[in-house]
Amino acid sequence: MRNVYLDHAATTAVHPKVLESMLPYLQDKLGNPSSIYSSGREAKAAVETARAQVAALINAQPDEIIFTSGGTEADNLALTGVATALSQQGRHIITSRIEHHAVLHTAEELERKGFQVTYLPVDPDGLINPDLLEQALTPETIMVSIIFANNEIGTIEPIDRLAKIAKKHGVIFHTDAVQAVGNIPIDVEELNIDLLSLSGHKIYGPKGIGALYVRRGMNIKPLMQGGSQERKLRPGTENVPGIVGLGKAAELARIELPARSAHLTELRDYLIDGVLSSIAHVRLNGHRTLRLPGNANFSFEFIEGESLLLSLDMAGIAASSGSACTSGSLDPSHVLMAIGLSHEVAHGSLRLTLGRENNKEDVDYVLSVLPDIVGRLRAMSPLTPAKEA
Amino acid sequence: MRNVYLDHAATTAVHPKVLESMLPYLQDKLGNPSSIYSSGREAKAAVETARAQVAALINAQPDEIIFTSGGTEADNLALTGVATALSQQGRHIITSRIEHHAVLHTAEELERKGFQVTYLPVDPDGLINPDLLEQALTPETIMVSIIFANNEIGTIEPIDRLAKIAKKHGVIFHTDAVQAVGNIPIDVEELNIDLLSLSGHKIYGPKGIGALYVRRGMNIKPLMQGGSQERKLRPGTENVPGIVGLGKAAELARIELPARSAHLTELRDYLIDGVLSSIAHVRLNGHRTLRLPGNANFSFEFIEGESLLLSLDMAGIAASSGSACTSGSLDPSHVLMAIGLSHEVAHGSLRLTLGRENNKEDVDYVLSVLPDIVGRLRAMSPLTPAKEA
Amino acid sequence: MYTEKVMDHFMHPRNVGEIDNPDGVGQVGNPVCGDIMKMSLRIKDDRIEDIKFKTFGCGAAIATSSMVTELVKGKTVAEALALNNRMVAEALGGLPCKKMHCSNLAADALHAAIADYKEKQVQASR
Amino acid sequence: MYTEKVMDHFMHPRNVGEIDNPDGVGQVGNPVCGDIMKMSLRIKDDRIEDIKFKTFGCGAAIATSSMVTELVKGKTVAEALALNNRMVAEALGGLPCKKMHCSNLAADALHAAIADYKEKQVQASR
Ligand SMILES: Cc1ncc(COP(=O)(O)O)c(C=O)c1O
Ligand SMILES: Cc1ncc(COP(=O)(O)O)c(C=O)c1O
């Protein structure tokens, strides 16, 4: 049986060159970057090289990159760190209804701590209307945090316009770019971004490492206390192999971005067209063109996502769903609800996310098995209209 | 030139078997443990195996282990998580003056948030007197956090007695066992420990991964918000290779503990005796016998630690010092001050920490170069009495 | 995640479909929660002669539906009423914790179908 | 961390020691901060004929002390007074940021020694 991995938004395989860059630091190079002897200094130099590589990917300065344990920590540090630092200036934060839980739940936690949070709605394609941001700003607003590109439906937000509005009002702008980085070009200078979260394992780097870009001069408090690593913003012995791997992954992403993006966009469009033309009662979630190169997200009416995933797994295909059943919560994805799907339709969603190793044959294989799987489940479903079953 | 690494308390080299266990998860095994398809389930199973391995090392149950990004995060989660959860019951915390910064600075941060913190003193050997803990407890006390074995001077605290006192008063007991785990036997049941921090890279595991043991039924709040990984106590995509590596390191530590400990104790005593007998005006910091098997910490009068480290580095020896100059702060180590050293003597401290790869020849090499290095620096020092120079 | 038995019933569900002119029909669950189960029965001499299901839901929902139909086919109505959701999960070799409550509704659907059958009998006897 | 020049002066410090019956002696720093520098001078015809140092401190402290002695040997007292800590750091090819303030005291020690010399002269001429 063919094995096709189509869950690159969940995690990507470590690039062989990334692993190669990490191995020395997992083998004989064992210094602690805070130590002054040779191997410690070597480790420090490797960390600084990686910092420059990550900075280059988003056109930041090396000293604006703070390494964290992943995207979640970067998001938590951004929101909590800025809110804590600026709480004297105001206690209002603006974000959106389609943020990743790392931002959404942190915003909710800040609400419990006495901050006010506005959650901007999105249109049926998942786009935020910049006018709504303009209207939501108050003299109390200290920060805006908007996801760069959504992890479920792939919609790319108008970050340039949103960040410009924040800048005009002197408000800090953070973006969770965990899914966007490496897939679409990002220039924090041109876009007026003050803080940006990214994660290693989404860009063919290792798990357990990420980074927060923090514009120079920003006022931000650490999330944790301890040693004085990472300019006192992130204590703990540096994860040297992880950092080196993230640096290498960022470098590869920078060099290969145009090619990767073109490759994925082509496959994605082929997949979307194939599914929409071969299966009835299906809808594409997210914007048709303003979407991540590798993201396709469908809702198949009358069937439920987990049973779809299980069936695909039996056929060797790894995918993801916004169904409540897969998350263990009782509600389907908040993102799918925010774009206006009914519960049933949200439960029947399927996310297929392509990556650099995928090819046309993979998509052909999916297109060859998906219609039967959907048909089989629909035949079992009490929701399927008699004439379709 | 011989290269001798004697800074195992700062970080250890990844054990070859640990690296071997991680490699599949850095190469082709790429599932996200939260996904339901096969590779996701495989990753999940690997994470659960590691959880059981870590639990076995300290006689805990697997579901009592929460993976974190390292020792620092484990300490922050323990203190802040419990303080936040129990703030209605009381706002007094007891810790010691010789904690690692990850505990000490977190305690200070909690003070800024309105908690009261008592910092227990230590005797000249670095030992905490359990009677002082008994006296410090108030009806407001919610938590006691005491380092299991100190990272600088190696002194092992009377954790059994301290934890028993906490238990008697119904107070949560946390211990930062980052340096102790894997080096001395720890049984959380027998010792009545409620929370325990450990870190991968101190036990021949990878950097960027650690764990907090949380006794079943404990009331604790997460430090970060996001996904529902790690029983909602620690969000973020799991660092699968890191977790697998930590699990393997824990397993090896459990199996090899008696042998490692015997080997290190023998080398340590040989090193301590050798230094004390060949160099004058030297003091051993920390308790002579109640100390970590691999730890030796000396103060050489009249000279300063960083210049000592630099000289040792030129001779191929990697070590550490409590000197202010190496830490970038103006004060020498708070631990050395807490055991009553004067500033000069604290500045002249040298920590040599042995590990599994060290042998008697390494110690002999150190003993062959150290007297000359100390002598040379003393000859340059204005503090050296004329008759010694 | 799922036992082999669950996967077997998911991939090869028994008694899928709807009975024409059934003696009883029951539906439980709702689309908001992500699980809907519909059972239809043919009953003869107080015995379940035939039973079919249709289910919208996850793997556990489909497997429990299938298992219920197998467990009660040929059984008396009283025996069928004695079946509960826990027993269905056990017959499948267990379900993951988080599936025990949300997707394990098949016995409820069966009971609803039996209630429908009894109601119809009462009405017919009037 | 340190430049080659710093390491050279650290490993091969110039003019270590104390001058017997010096014309001026200066000491700055204190043990609490971890750096003490002591300079002793022999001065002839307003020129620094000899200079020696002793230092308790880190690599930067030792290297700056050594560099100062090299820079001012043979220079006039006025020239020596014109030397400041920044110039010493530059002569060494730079110092790490965090060392610029704590360990770069050698010019201060030199100036203290010159001050001592001038004081002694005034006293002698009375
Ligand atoms: C948009 C977005 N933000 C944040 C995260 C969290 O990243 P991590 O799992 O590396 O902590 C993810 C991935 O899960 C994501 O897709
Ligand atoms: C006693 C102690 N606690 C906590 C830590 C922090 O661990 P990590 O650097 O893995 O975050 C260390 C090591 O630096 C330590 O020695």
Q: Is the CB of B287 under 6 A from ligand 2?
A: no
Q: Is the pLDDT of residue B30 over 90?
A: no
Q: Which residue has the tokens 């860059």?
A: A21
Give the ligand with the smallest distance to the CA of A230.
2
Whether C and D touch (3+ CB pairs < 8 Å), yes or no: no
pLDDT tens-digit readout, A181-213:
999 999 999 999 999 999 999 999 999 999 999
Q: Which residues, 6+ apart, have CB-to-CB distance to B59 below 8 Å?
A: B186, B187, B188, B189, B190
Walk along chain A (389 residues) and give the pLDDT tens digit of each residue.
Answer: 899 999 999 999 999 999 999 999 998 777 778 787 888 888 899 999 999 999 999 999 999 999 999 999 999 999 999 999 999 999 999 999 999 999 999 999 999 999 999 999 999 999 999 999 999 999 999 999 999 999 999 999 999 999 999 999 999 999 999 999 999 999 999 999 999 999 999 999 999 999 999 999 999 999 999 988 898 899 999 999 999 999 999 999 999 999 999 999 999 999 999 999 999 999 999 999 999 999 999 999 999 888 899 899 999 999 998 765 554 455 678 999 999 998 888 888 999 999 999 999 999 999 999 999 999 999 988 888 887 65
Nearest CA in chain D to B331: D33
Q: What is the largest CA-CA distance in chain A?
A: 76
Average pLDDT over residues B116-131: 98
Show the CA angle centred on residue B367, arms to residues B363 and B371, nearest 5°.
155
Structure tokens at B49: 């195996």
Q: Based on the structure, what is the number of domains in chain D?
A: 1
Report pLDDT for B328: 47
Nearest to A51 by CA among A234, A264, A260: A234
Give the ligand with the smallest distance to the CA of A148.
1
Q: Which residue from B28, B105, B318 is facing A225, i.e. has the nearest CB?
A: B105
Q: Which residue has the tokens 């392509």?
A: A354
The CATH homologous superfamily to which domain A4-11+257-380 belongs is Aspartate Aminotransferase, domain 1 (3.90.1150.10)
DSSP string, A202-240: GTTS-SS-EEEEE-TT-----SS-SS-TGGGTS-S---H
Nearest to A78 by CA among A240, A242, A204, A220: A220
Query: Distance, CA B71 to ligand 2 centroid (Å)?
Result: 5
**DSSP-based three-state secondary structure for A220:** coil
Q: Could you give the angle at which helices B240-278 and B360-380 cross, rounded to 10 degrees?
A: 60
Q: How far apart are CA D59 and CA D6, in angstroms?
A: 8
Q: How far apart are CA B237 and CA A71, in angstroms?
A: 8
Q: How far apart are CA B97 and CA B127, in angstroms?
A: 11
Asked if the structure places residue D84 within a domain, the reply is yes
Instruction: Please give the distance of CA D49 from its chain centroid, rounded to a whole number.
Output: 14
Structure tokens at D46: 């307003």
Classify residue D32 by burial, with Cβ atoms within 10 Å: 0-12, 13-18, 19+: middle
* Contact assessment for residue D42 and residue D8, using Cβ atoms and an 8 Å cutoff: no
| Interstrand relation of B210-214 and B65-68 (parallel, antiparallel or unpaired) | antiparallel
Instruction: Please give the distance of CA B70 from its chain centroid, rounded to a whole number.
Output: 11
Q: Which residue has the tokens 């660092």?
A: B239
Report pLDDT for A228: 83
Asked if the structure places residue C96 within a domain, the reply is yes
| Cβ-Cβ contacts under 8 Å, C61 against chain A | 304, 307
Tell me the residue length of chain A.
Answer: 389
Q: Which residue of A337, A381, A384, A388 to mutate against C (max C Cβ within 10 Å)?
A: A381
The number of beta carbons lying within 10 Å of the beta carbon of residue A189 is: 11
Q: Is the CB of B274 under 6 A from ligand 2?
A: no
Nearest CA in chain B to A313: B37
Instruction: Please give the distance of CA B216 from its chain centroid, rounded to a whole number.
Output: 24
Quote the minimal CA–CA distance from B340 to chain A in Å: 23
Q: Is the pLDDT of residue B329 over 60?
A: no
| Interstrand relation of D47-56 and B295-300 (parallel, antiparallel or unpaired) | unpaired
Report pLDDT for B330: 52
Q: Is the pLDDT of residue B273 over 90?
A: yes
Structure tokens at D29: 């720093």
Report pLDDT for C33: 66
DSSP string, B151-188: TTT-BBP-HHHHHHHHHHTT-EEEEE-TTTTTTS---H
Q: Which residue of A303, A306, A343 to mutate against C (max C Cβ within 10 Å)?
A: A306
Q: Which residues, 6+ apart, have CB-to-CB distance to A364 below 8 Å?
A: none
Q: How far apart are CA B70 and CA B79, in angstroms?
A: 15
Task: Please choose from A11, A77, A100 the residue to mutate so as to test ligand 1's pocket, defined by most ligand atoms within 8 A of CB.
Answer: A100
Give the ligand with the smallest distance to the CA of B203.
2
Walk along chain D (126 residues) and give the pLDDT tens digit of each residue.
Answer: 788 999 999 999 999 999 999 999 999 887 666 788 999 999 999 999 999 999 988 888 899 999 999 999 999 999 999 998 888 988 998 887 667 655 678 888 999 999 999 999 888 887
The number of beta carbons lying within 10 Å of the beta carbon of residue B135 is: 11
Mean pLDDT is lowest, of A323-332, B51-60, B343-352, for A323-332
| A2 in contact with B, Cβ within 8 Å | no
For B16-253, CATH number out of 3.30.559.10, 3.40.640.10, 3.40.718.10, 3.30.460.80 equals 3.40.640.10
Q: How far apart are CA C22 and CA C50, in angstroms?
A: 9
Nearest CA in chain A to C63: A307
pLDDT tens-digit readout, B182-239:
999 999 999 999 999 999 999 999 999 999 999 999 999 999 999 888 988 999 999 9
Starting at the edge strand that comes first in sequence, how are the strands of the sheet with A282-284 ordered? Answer: A282-284, A295-300, A349-353
Q: Is the pLDDT of residue C68 over 70?
A: yes
Q: How far apart are CA D84 and CA A198, in angstroms?
A: 46
Residue nearest to atom 5 of ligand 2 (CA): B71
Report pLDDT for C100: 64
pLDDT tens-digit readout, C2-43:
889 999 999 999 999 999 999 999 998 876 667 889 999 999
Q: How far apart are CA A4 and CA A100, in angstroms?
A: 26
Q: Could you give the angle at which helices A16-26 and B16-26 cross, rounded to 10 degrees?
A: 170
Classify residue A375 by burial, with Cβ atoms within 10 Å: 0-12, 13-18, 19+: middle
Q: Which residue has the tokens 């402290």?
A: D61
Q: Please list the residues that pair with C41 across neighbouring strands.
A: C24, C51
Asked if the structure places residue D126 within a domain, the reply is no
| CATH number of residue D35's parent domain | 3.90.1010.10
Q: Which residue from B208, B223, B235 is facing A208, i.e. has the nearest CB?
A: B208
| Alpha-carbon distance values, A9 to A153, A173, A180, A194, A319 (Å) | 10, 24, 10, 24, 10
Q: How far apart are CA B373 and CA B282, in angstroms?
A: 14
Nearest to A117 by CA among A128, A126, A106: A106
| pTM (2 d.p.) | 0.87
Asked if the structure places residue C87 within a domain, the reply is yes
| Cβ-Cβ contacts under 8 Å, A328 against chain C | 98
Q: How far apart are CA A321 and CA B35, in angstroms?
A: 9
pLDDT tens-digit readout, A223-232:
999 988 898 8
- Provide the terminal-to-terminal Cα distance of chain B, rounded to the nearest Å: 28
* Contact assessment for residue A365 and residue A4, using Cβ atoms and an 8 Å cutoff: yes
* Contact assessment for residue B338 and residue B98, using Cβ atoms and an 8 Å cutoff: yes
- Provide the terminal-to-terminal Cα distance of chain C, rounded to the nearest Å: 50
| D63 in contact with B, Cβ within 8 Å | no
Report pLDDT for B187: 98
D102 is annotated as an active-site residue: yes
Residue nearest to atom 15 of ligand 1 (CA): A178
Report pLDDT for B266: 98
- Which of B325, B337, B367, B369 is catalytic? The answer is B325
Query: Distance, CA C111 to ligand 1 centroid (Å)?
Result: 44
Please give the positions of A annotated as active site.
Answer: 325
- Provide the terminal-to-terminal Cα distance of chain D, rounded to the nearest Å: 51
Q: How far apart are CA B235 and CA B231, in angstroms?
A: 9
DSSP string, C83-98: --HHHHHHHTT---HH
Q: Please give the residue range of the domain that contains residue D48.
A: 4-119
- The neighbours of chain D, by the rule of 3 or more Cβ pairs under 8 Å, are B
The number of beta carbons lying within 10 Å of the beta carbon of residue D28 is: 18
Quote the minimal CA–CA distance from B387 to chain A in Å: 32
* Contact assessment for residue A94 and residue A143, using Cβ atoms and an 8 Å cutoff: yes
* Contact assessment for residue B356 and residue B259, using Cβ atoms and an 8 Å cutoff: no
Nearest CA in chain A to B328: A228
Question: Please, where in chain B does CATH 3.40.640.10 lie?
Answer: 16-253
* Contact assessment for residue D46 and residue D58, using Cβ atoms and an 8 Å cutoff: no
Nearest to D2 by CA among D71, D69, D85, D94: D94
Interface of B with D (CB under 8 A): 302-307, 310-311, 314, 323-326, 328, 330, 332, 342-344, 347, 379-383
SS (H, E, C) A165-185: HHHHCCCEEEEECCCCCCCCC
Report pLDDT for D105: 83
